[in-house]
Structure 1
Amino acid sequence: MTSAPTTARAPRLPSLTGLRWIAALLVFGFHAGTMRIIAEPELKTVMDKTFSLGLSGVEFFFVLSGFVLVWSYRDGEPGRRFLRRRLAKIYPNHVVTFVAALAVAAWFADPVLPWAAIGNLFLVQAWIPLNGYFYSVNNVSWSLSCELAFYLCLPLVVPWLRRGRTGVLRAVLVAAPLLILALWPGQHLVPEEQRWWFTQIFPVTRSLEFWMGAAAAELMRRHRWRGPGLPVASLLFVATWVVAALWIRAEFWAALLAVAYVLVIAAAAEADVRGRWTPWRSRAMVWLGEVSFAFYLVHVLVMVTVLRLTGDWGTGLPGWRGPLAVLGFLLLNLALAAALHRWVELPMMRRLGPSRRPRTGPAAVAPAPAVPAPRSHPSSTPGGVGRIEPSALFSGRGDTPQGGARRRDPAVICTRAQGRPRTRPRRPGDAARSSPATVSREVPTMSQTVLRHFLTEVPEAAAIWSTLTVLALALLAVLVARPEREPAEPAPEPVDADAVHRADLARYADEVAVAAAGAAQTARRRRERWLVAQDEAERAWAAYDEADAAARRLALAAALPTPRTPHTPTEYAARERWLRHAAMTAYWRGDLTARQLADVLAGRNGWDPRRHPAEQEAVLAGTIRDGRRARWEAAAARERLAWRDAELAADAARTLTVEAYAAATALRPVPAPRASAVTRVPVAAARWRPARIG
């Protein structure tokens, strides 16, 4: 008789299912803002500020996908079975929305590239770096192309994850955000027209987020995850969102939000495993999370189709009609997503997915799962099927949830292959081994348990700490027992005041000479900086002069009437494409900042993609001129500051040079005065004369 192999299932994570709806809602809000459904400026500003980072919801999906798939991956499952189950999940909805998008394109007579449609159908469009390919047909399906690439790689990577060291997994969590951040300078290695594809679409670069989630899930399975709880993680996420939207440059958004998403996902998963309450695991949130995949696939197609049918595409709805239209689109997409989930996704998963009935085969021992399996209690549920105690999933060894010393009867062996306990016959020696006297002798005291755990579980640590303690005590004993010797006072030497003075003077002269040399080098370096700043100011002035001439020329040309073109959705789409291309070109050239580019793409701060390209070119030229003027003014200010620093350094160098010369002169020995030649004149002998009397 053969038994089916056992497969331990990881606990379900309903909170992560609820969080999927939040990510889908962020993507919906971002697309609703970029479609300019709301025409009222104040309301549109609120919409843009709220969902300015909503596109990162796709990043959340990638991180969540890596986490959930590694968490629920069944060890020993064939890769074909895993791929079949994942394709049954995503491909039917993709085919339905693909056909719907082609029908909409045929209704509006939109051109469709045949090879682009074929690539979209087989979910390989994200690998094609050509305009019109990765955003073809149903443009949001590019993320499914990335997901399919992740599915193909996961069965090959999971065995490595299971065997990998904990330090390597933590290194992945640290290195992935840094690599995401490095994509922005690295994009200059690819052609300019492919940089957006390289940073936002390419499956290899987007896989960094997927592997972050996979590493976090494996750490969670091993009970090695160290992160904040759900309340703290949620606060960190909200703070990161607000700070990134208001003050941080766009190049840092993806890396920061990837870290925030990993913290929130891991915290929610840990709360589910421990059985704690979360706002995302309610029945309504779980249902919304289940239909979020279908909602994501239909929301852009539905909104664009309805706006084009009503003639409001690109014009927006005035007043409160705009917010009401957004709310209506939300409900309409949710209803269509529920229908797609109910009548397409679920039936096709049952029909196309692998059978869940366990196949019979030779008896095999299932590997021990990383997450502790539930222990069966005959009195817990009908039929003797045990339930998972949340606390047992993070406890130590033993039968109690906290790894206590209570023992099971060795006669009872619980098998979970069929979900019910099974007992084996008692052997002759079982009664003696499980007698009360023996059991009472085996129960240790608390101190014995702690000592045995310390000596048996961590022998290396015990040996190391014991050795260090013995060495420290021996060193301390040597230092205490060694007698202190008072050093003998040296005999005072005679002091030569003149020699001491000359030694001080020589030291001062050397120090001043070194300072003078350093000051001279600093003066030369600052002069070079001033010359470089002067050249930069001249180049900035030349660039500003060129931009000013172009802006004046376009302003004069704007006085002429613009050519009349039909105001059709196709014309508006062409104008929007021209504006985006011109803005991206100016951004890569350095004439627009990241915030200005975001304003152009979102239609904020006076940017209107519906205007004629001649008017858009004039506005863009004026913006470029203002930016170049600001850069020239900044360069001129830097040039003045560099000139002042160079003058101060030159003055300091001159002063120190004079001081060094004076010190060197004072150090020179004073020459002794020469003896003058004295002519000796012979003196005649004085003659004696008598004193005068009277």
Structure 2
Amino acid sequence: MVSLISPPRHATPGNPIPGNAGPDSAGAERSRSKSAKTELERSRPDIGTLTALRFVAALWVVLFHLQAMRHTFLAPIYELFRPVIANGDLGVDVFFVLSGFIITYTYLDRLGPRFRWRAAGDFVWARFARMWPAFALVVGVLGLWFAYGAGQHPVGAWSLQTQAPDLSPWGMARQLLMVHLWFQPGTDGASWFGPGWTVSAEWLAYLAFPLLAVVLFRLRRLHPLAALAASVLVLVPTALWGEDLPIATGGPQPYEWLLRIACCFTAGAFGCIAARNADRMNFNPALAGPGAVLAGAAVAVFLAAAGKPGPGRLAVLAFPLLIALLSLARGRVRAALSARWLQYSGRCSYSLYLVHMFFIYLFYWLNRDWLHGAGPLATNLLAAACLAGIALATHLLFRYVEEPARHRLRALGGRSPRFARAG
């Protein structure tokens, strides 16, 4: 980093007394200030570089759920990346850590240093406007899906969950209020579609963040190494709470989802503090990109070696470092992540996460009941049609529901200008 050292108090031909500085000295001082500012900006986190990671995390989860199609033309992908895809549930943890990082980066200074109802209300409304419209539409479509399927199959079987979701009016109200997970210890059957439980968990984290921000604000100047260590330590409980690990007793543990969102979200917050204070270490941003690539490769190698999803959960410990490095990445890595298609895909990641399960339902039931014995060609065509449907539905949901509804709800809420540019 450029050091802003005060000039000596004695005058020399090349170093006039500051009080009598002439035009040349003033210009030099401005140049030094501009250089220092530029260098500082280079070391600050850039959450735009994380947009592409949102797409990668969503795609990881989608591939995990698309294992119903692993015997179609997708078979070579599942064979080549089998250990990584088998641990695709970790994509949810990436989302949770990312969420804690981005929310802290965007809102910490606005919500701290003390709790204020107006600021907290603005924050909660902004997050509601982001999450609710697309989710509510998907819940409505799935309600019609269940109304059709319940006459032919049990609700649990029709939803491809071992526990049947609650389709009562109270169950629908809980879905629409995004509190459906809060009333049960497990995630199975909590949502009308499997991965929908994460929306409820994330909503709980958002409601708690204004209080968490009061604590984090007092830690905002934590040394980056200490913050990074805290981000890893806070993940240890959820990393060890997996199946096939000594601490586990076999199978999902009660309220594991609560531990998972709390640990991952808080870890992301500490990761953000580490990244935004990286200049205190004279950290060279040019190393962030290669470091992120190495961290990502190490995660992939570890998952390939671990094989089973249980031990693979330990990979979550690397996520804060990976995300922090990506936020500081410059050069080729940043340029690659800034590709237009990756940025758009990242912005659509929430819509992709919401819609993909419906097309998996379609594939499963159409292949089982209509194409049974029709041969691989018909199955491959159905799989290709469902993948195309996922892509099209993702674009339509984002372009015509998620984004416009978000802007309209923000305007309806009359949010404070302090939150005008928040995501």
Identify which of 122, 133, 144 aligns with 1:81.
122
Counterpart amino acid of residue 292 in structure 2: A
Distance 1:87 1:275, change over 3 A: farther
Residue 275 of structure 1, CA deviation: 9.9
Q: Which has the larger displacement, 112-121 or 313-322?
A: 313-322
Tell me the distance in 2 between the aligned counterparts of 1:309 and 1:41. Answer: 18
2:140 counterpart of 1:106:
no
Amino acid at match of 2:177: F
Ranges in structure 2 where 5+ consecutive residues have no aligned partner: 1-40, 112-118, 156-164, 419-423
8 A Cα contact 1:17 1:290, kept in partner: yes
Distance in 2 (alpha carbons) for counterparts of 1:230 and 1:316: 50
The answer to whether the Cα contact below 8 Å between 2:230 and 2:267 also exists between their aligned partners in 1 is yes
Q: How does 1:530-679 map to 2 (within 5 A)?
A: none
- Would the alpha carbon gap of residues 89 and 316 (structure 1) be closer, same or farther in structure 2, given more than 3 Å must change? farther
Q: Is the 8 A contact 1:177 1:255 kept in 2?
A: no
Q: 1:169-208 residue pairs with structure 2 within 5 A?
A: 169-184=227-242, 185-188=246-249, 195-199=252-256, 202-208=257-263
Match of 1:270 among 325, 328, 333: 328
Residue 50 of structure 2 corresponds to which residue in structure 1? 16
Are 1:157 and 2:212 counterparts?
Answer: yes
For 2:32, the equivalent position in structure 1 comes to: none
- Alignment of 1:211 onto 2:263: no
What amino acid does structure 2 have at the position aligned with 1:252?
P
Q: Pairwise mapping of residues 398-547 of structure 1 onto structure 2 (< 5 A)?
A: none
Deviations 1:281-314 (A, max 9, x none): 1211111111110010010112212442454699
| Secondary structure of 1:126's aligned partner | coil
- How much has 1:175 moved relative to structure 2? 1.1
Partner residue, 2:292: 233
**1:143 to 2:198 alignment:** yes
Aligned to 2:6: none
Conservation of the 8 A alpha-carbon contact between 1:23 and 1:61: yes
- Alpha-carbon distance in 2 for matches of 1:132, 1:161: 29
Count of aligned residue pairs for this structure pair: 342
Match of 1:301 in 2: 358
- From the superposition, tell whether residues 204 and 177 of structure 1 become closer, same or farther in structure 2 (CA, over 3 Å): closer
Counterparts of 1:276 and 1:319, CA distance in 2: 40
Q: Name the CA shift for 1:30/1:182 in 2 (closer, same or farther; >3 Å).
A: closer
Q: Distance in 2 between matches of 1:40 and 1:343?
A: 31
1:254 alignment partner in structure 2? 313
Query: Aligned pair in 2 of structure 1 residues 29, 318: CA closer, same or farther (>3 Å)?
Result: farther
Inter-partner Cα distance in structure 2 for 1:207 and 1:326: 36
Given the superposition, is the C-alpha separation of residues 323 and 210 from structure 1 closer, same or farther in structure 2, using an over 3 Å criterion? farther
How big is the shift at 1:140?
Answer: 1.6
Higher percent of residues as helix: 2
Q: 1:94 aligns with which of 135, 142, 154?
A: 135
**How well do the aligned residues superpose, as a CA RMSD in angstroms?**
3.3
Question: Judging changes above 3 Å, is the alpha-carbon distance between structure 1 residues 213 and 323 closer, same or farther for their aligned structure 2 residues?
Answer: farther
* Mapped partners of 1:186, 1:289: distance in 2: 35
What aligned pairs does 1:24-35 form with structure 2 within 5 A after superposition? Answer: 24-33=58-67, 35=68
CA contact (8 A) 1:97 1:297 kept: yes
Aligned residues of 1:125 and 1:134 also touching (Cα < 8 A): no
Q: Is the 8 A contact 1:71 1:217 kept in 2?
A: yes
Kept in 2: contact 1:117–1:136 (CA 8 A): no
* Partner secondary structure for residue 125 of structure 1: coil
CA distance in 2, matches of 1:293, 1:207: 20
Deviation string for 1:511-532 (max 9, x for gaps)? xxxxxxxxxxxxxxxxxxxxxx
The whole-number CA distance in structure 2 between the counterparts of 1:356 and 1:116 is 31
User: Which secondary structure does the structure 1 equivalent of 2:231 belong to?
Assistant: helix
Asked which structure has the greater CA Rg, the reply is: 1
Q: Matched residues in 2 for 1:238 and 1:313: separation?
A: 42
Deviation (angstroms), 1:217: 0.5
CA contact (8 A) 1:49 1:245 kept: yes
Deviations 1:478-532 (A, max 9, x none): xxxxxxxxxxxxxxxxxxxxxxxxxxxxxxxxxxxxxxxxxxxxxxxxxxxxxxx
Match of 2:96 among 62, 84, 87: 62
How far residue 231 of structure 1 moved from its aligned partner, in angstroms, is 2.3
Residues 291-440 of structure 1 mapped to structure 2, 5 A cutoff: 291-311=348-368, 319=376, 325-353=382-410, 354-355=413-414, 358=417
Aligned with residue 222 of structure 2, among 139, 144, 166: 166
Equivalent residue for 2:176, pick from 110, 118, 121: 121
Shift in Å at residue 263 of structure 1?
2.5
Correspondent of 2:304 among 236, 245, 248: 245
Could you say which residue in structure 2 is the equivalent of 1:487?
Answer: none
